Amino acid sequence: MERVVALVDMDCFYVQVEQRLNPALKGTPCAVVQYNPWKGGGIIAVSYEARAHGVTRQMRGDDARAKCPQINLVRVPQVRGKADLTKYREGGAEVIEVLSRFSDCVERASVDEAYIDLTVEVETRLAALGGAKVTEASLPNTHVAGHDREKDGKTLSDWLETTFNEATLEMHDRRLAVGAVIAEEMRQAVYEDTGFRCSAGIAHNKMLAKLACGFHKPNKQTILPHSQVPQLFKSLPIRKIRNLGGKMGTLVSEHLRVENMADLLVFSERALQQLLGEKNGSWLYSVCRGFDSEPVSARQLPKSIGCSKNFTGKNCLNTRDKVKFWLSELAKEVEERLIKDKHN
C-alpha cells in the first residue's frame, strides 16, 4: 500500500482516432469495422453515442445499422490485403509520450492502455502540500469506489474530509487522493496535446487500478481505496479481475465452486497453490485480499534506432569505395535491429 499506480485507458480508442481525422464524426453514433463482405464486416470499436443505441463490439456492420440506422461506419484501412493498424498504434504512442512527462515509470500495456507508477511524484507533492488538503475542486471528474451519493449515501467530498482529517494518521488514502489529482492533470494534458479522451483508475497496485478504471467511463476516473476492497469483492465475479478472465478464472470457479472474489478468502495459500501451482496460487491468495506486488515496468518503445562509427585519424573514409562499404555495413546493422525490434 506504499505505491500509487494509475491505469489510463483511452475511451473507444479506434473511434476517437477516426474522429480526429474526420471531425464531422465527433459526437455521432459511430463504429470502426474491420471490413469483409460478410454482413458488412466485424465491429471492433463503438462510440458511446452508438452504445446508447445498443450497438456492441463483435456485431456485424449490417446488424449495427439495423439497430441504429444513422450510424457512421468507418473501415480499418487495408495494405497488401491486411488490416493496417499504423494510425491507431501511432495515436497510442502519442498518448504514451504525454504520460511520460508525469512519471519515469510508464508501462505501455496495450495499444490504448498504460500503467503509470506515480509513487515518487505523489511523495514530492505530499511534501509540498504541507498540511493543506486536496479538495473536490482539483478532482472534477473523479469518483471514489463506495462513495456514490445515491447508492452509498456518501460522496467524494466526505471521503476527502475523512482522508485529510488531522486525526487520520494513515497516509494511504492521502497518497491516492494526490495520485488522483495527478491523474486529472495527465488526462487533461492528453486531451490538450492529442485531442483524445481517456479514463483512469487510481489504486495501490496494477490489479486494483485496472479494475477501478472500468467503474466510470468515458472521460472519468475512479479511486479505489484499499478499505473498499472487502465490500467490493463480496459481489465481484472472479472473471472481472485481470488475468482471471480466461482459463485460469474458469478453473478457479469450477474447481473451488466459487463465484465472487471474496469467496476465495476461505482457502489457504497451500490449497490455492495445489490447484494453480506455487506462483499463481500465491498470487491469487494475495489478489483476493486486494494485494498485488507486480511492479509497473518502465517499458516503452524506443523513439529511434540508429548506429554509428567514428572514423578518426588514419581510419578516415578517404575514398568513395570506403564510404559505400561502411554505409552498407551500418545500414545492414540497422536493418537487423529493426527486424529484431519488430519481433520483440
Footprint on this chain of ligand TTP (rule: CB under 6 A): 9-14, 44-45, 111-112, 217-218
CB of 45 to ligand TTP, least distance (A): 3
Contacts 24+ apart (CB under 8 A), 84-92: 85/111, 87/17, 87/21, 88/13, 88/14, 88/17, 88/112, 91/13, 91/16, 91/17, 91/20, 91/194, 91/196, 92/10, 92/13
CB of 97 to ligand TTP, least distance (A): 18
Comparison of 14 and 215: residue with beta carbon closer to ligand TTP:
14
What is the C-alpha to C-alpha distance for residues 231 and 235, in angstroms, rounded to an integer? 8
Comparison of 112 and 184: residue with beta carbon closer to ligand TTP:
112
- The answer to whether 230 touches 219, Cβ cutoff 8 Å, is no
Comparison of 7 and 232: residue with beta carbon closer to ligand TTP:
7
CA-to-CA dists, residue 264 to 57, 174, 247, 252, angstroms: 32, 29, 17, 9
- The answer to whether 254 touches 240, Cβ cutoff 8 Å, is no
Residue type (1 letter), 288: C
CB of 145 to ligand TTP, least distance (A): 18
Q: Residue holding cell 507486480?
A: 294
What is the C-alpha to C-alpha distance for residues 270 and 281, in angstroms, rounded to an integer? 7
Kindly state the helix (H) or strand (E) to which residue 143 belongs, with its residue range: strand 142-144
Comparison of 57 and 65: residue with beta carbon closer to ligand TTP:
57
Which residues contact residue 12 at a Cβ distance below 8 angstroms, ignoring those fewer than 6 apart? 45, 46, 47, 48, 218
Comparison of 76 and 248: residue with beta carbon closer to ligand TTP:
76
| 3-state secondary structure (DSSP) of residue 173 | helix
Comparison of 111 and 171: residue with beta carbon closer to ligand TTP:
111
CB of 256 to ligand TTP, least distance (A): 28
- Give the residue nearest to ligand TTP (CB): 45
Q: Measured over all CA atoms, what is the biggest interatomic distance in the chain, rounded to whole angstroms?
A: 81
Comparison of 107 and 112: residue with beta carbon closer to ligand TTP:
112
Residue type (1 letter), 265: L
Phi, psi of 44 (to 5 degrees): -115, -15
CB of 62 to ligand TTP, least distance (A): 19
CB of 84 to ligand TTP, least distance (A): 13
CB of 49 to ligand TTP, least distance (A): 12
Comparison of 95 and 156: residue with beta carbon closer to ligand TTP:
95
CB of 295 to ligand TTP, least distance (A): 22
